[in-house]
């Protein structure tokens, strides 16, 4: 079964990017001239996902507006050389269907994903955290995950080896390598305290999940920081069956942090200049 739906949890406050995110969603921060959310939807679309579900919250209206037609603006620039600047977003709007729901309380990423159940139903789906901006080597990272899902039919998470002194910011896996770069998850720990991480294999913001995860999240008690953690639910899913982790090929920028955001900006600016 192909994966046709992708969920974008985007309800978080983005406190690491204040004051920019005081009245604007962090997913609307632009890397060069394109907002993070648009890169994310392009990646989902490239992986075959045409039903885009967004979990938003207060102050996030700009996300819905970005994927809507702006009649006055489009009328204004019609026939000018600026029209081409909207061709990417227009194509996405033609090819994808967008749905939105709201997470009214910030109870964690697991809870945000559960809030999106109404947009997903009973089928496998992608989860894409748009503040992790990824560039794949041959295929986009979400496409790499879908390829694994198509072979194994279970949930798959993207992982990256991070420096040991940064592991405390991530959920990490303990796993057995079943083929080069592909791991069977045995255990997962969300944001392990410094010096106590069982590995440096960090889960990043790309997942393909099977829909039984919803029932598991419903049963998952609050974990780290009192939030319902997707890591805890995935750990249970691995215990009941199988969860795989793919060390993706490519590069990730943590655009929820100022350093990652600046790196991504430089990278994409150079890429744009080379393309001319
Ligand atoms: P982060 O841990 O990056 O939190 O959430 P945040 O609030 O967005 O940012 P900071 O740390 O305050 O700067 C990871 C992802 O999960 C979503 C966020 O929108 C982000 O994409 N999320 C998190 C929710 O949608 N709801 C939540 O309750 C928590």
Q: What would the pLDDT profile of 91-122 be if each residue is shown by its tens digit? A: 999 999 999 999 999 999 999 999 999 999 99
Ligand 1 centroid, distance to 11 Cα (angstroms): 7
Q: Is 90 exceeded by the pLDDT of residue 146? A: yes
Residue ranges around ligand 1 (CB below 6 Å): 9-17, 55, 103, 106-109, 111-112, 129, 131, 256
- DSSP letter string over 191-250? SPPTT--S-SEEEEEEEEE-TTHHHHHHHPPP-GGGS--HHHHHHHHHHHS-EEEEE-SE
Contact 244, 153 (CB under 8 A): no
What pLDDT is attached to residue 58? 82
Residue 73: pLDDT band (50, 70, 90) is: confident
Ligand 1 centroid, distance to 112 Cα (angstroms): 9
Please report the atom of ligand 1 found closest to the CA of residue 57.
25
Q: Is 80 exceeded by the pLDDT of residue 64? A: yes
- DSSP letter string over 142-176? HHHHHHHHHHH-SEEEEEEE--GGGGGGSEEEEEE
Distance CA 60, CA 12 (A): 10
Residue 100 belongs to a domain with what CATH number?
3.90.550.10
Most ligand 1 atoms within 8 A of CB, residue of 101, 256, 259, 260 to mutate: 256
Ligand 1 centroid, distance to 72 Cα (angstroms): 33
**Which of 76-90, 140-154, 202-216 is least confident?**
76-90
Ligand 1 centroid, distance to 151 Cα (angstroms): 30
Contact 151, 129 (CB under 8 A): no
Most ligand 1 atoms within 8 A of CB, residue of 101, 109, 207, 232 to mutate: 109
Using DSSP, state whether 9 is helix, strand or coil.
strand
Q: Is 70 exceeded by the pLDDT of residue 1? A: no
Taking CA atoms only, the protein residue closest to ligand 1 atom 16 is: 109
Q: Is 80 exceeded by the pLDDT of residue 54? A: yes
Pair of tokens at residue 179: 């083929």
Please report the atom of ligand 1 found closest to the CA of residue 13.
7
Domain range spanning residue 226?
A: 5-275
Ligand 1 centroid, distance to 152 Cα (angstroms): 29
Q: Structural domain tally of the chain? A: 1
Taking CA atoms only, the protein residue closest to ligand 1 atom 4 is: 12
185-196 burial string, b = 16+ CB within 10 Å, else e? beebbbbbeeee
Taking CA atoms only, the protein residue closest to ligand 1 atom 27 is: 108
Backbone angles phi, psi at 112, to 5 degrees: -65, -40
Residue 85: pLDDT band (50, 70, 90) is: confident
Residue scoring higher pLDDT (272 or 205) = 205
Give the max Cα distance, the chain.
60
Contact 201, 245 (CB under 8 A): yes
Residues in the chain: 276
Measured from the Cβ of residue 84, the count of other Cβ atoms closer than 10 Å reads 9
pTM, to two decimals: 0.96
Taking CA atoms only, the protein residue closest to ligand 1 atom 10 is: 14
Taking CA atoms only, the protein residue closest to ligand 1 atom 9 is: 14
């Amino acid at each position: 079964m192909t994966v046709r739906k992708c969920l974008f949890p985007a309800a978080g406050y983005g406190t690491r990017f204040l004051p920019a995110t005081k009245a604007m969603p962090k997913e609307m921060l632009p890397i060069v001239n394109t907002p993070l959310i648009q890169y994310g939807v392009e990646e989902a679309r490239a992986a075959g996902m045409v039903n885009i579900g967004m979990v938003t919250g207060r102050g996030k209206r700009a996300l819905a507006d970005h994927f809507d037609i702006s009649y006055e603006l489009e009328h204004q620039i019609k026939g000018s050389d600026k029209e081409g600047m909207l061709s990417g977003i227009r194509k996405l709007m033609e090819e994808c269907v967008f749905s939105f729901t709201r997470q009214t309380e910030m109870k964690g990423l697991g809870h945000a994903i559960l809030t999106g159940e109404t947009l997903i139903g009973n089928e496998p789906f992608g989860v894409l955290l748009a503040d992790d901006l990824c560039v794949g080597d041959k295929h986009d990272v979400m496409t790499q995950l879908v390829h694994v899902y198509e072979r194994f039919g279970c949930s798959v998470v993207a992982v990256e080896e991070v420096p040991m002194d940064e592991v405390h910011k991530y959920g990490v896996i303990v796993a057995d390598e079943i083929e080069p770069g592909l791991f069977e998850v045995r255990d997962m720990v969300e944001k392990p305290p410094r010096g106590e991480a069982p590995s440096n294999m960090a889960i990043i913001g790309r997942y393909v999940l099977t829909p039984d995860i919803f029932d598991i999240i419903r049963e998952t008690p609050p974990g780290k920081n009192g939030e319902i953690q997707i890591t805890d639910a995935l750990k249970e899913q691995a215990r009941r069956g199988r969860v795989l982790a793919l060390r993706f090929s490519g590069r990730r920028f943590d655009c929820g942090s100022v350093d990652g955001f600046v790196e991504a900006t430089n990278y994409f600016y150079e890429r744009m200049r080379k393309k001319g």
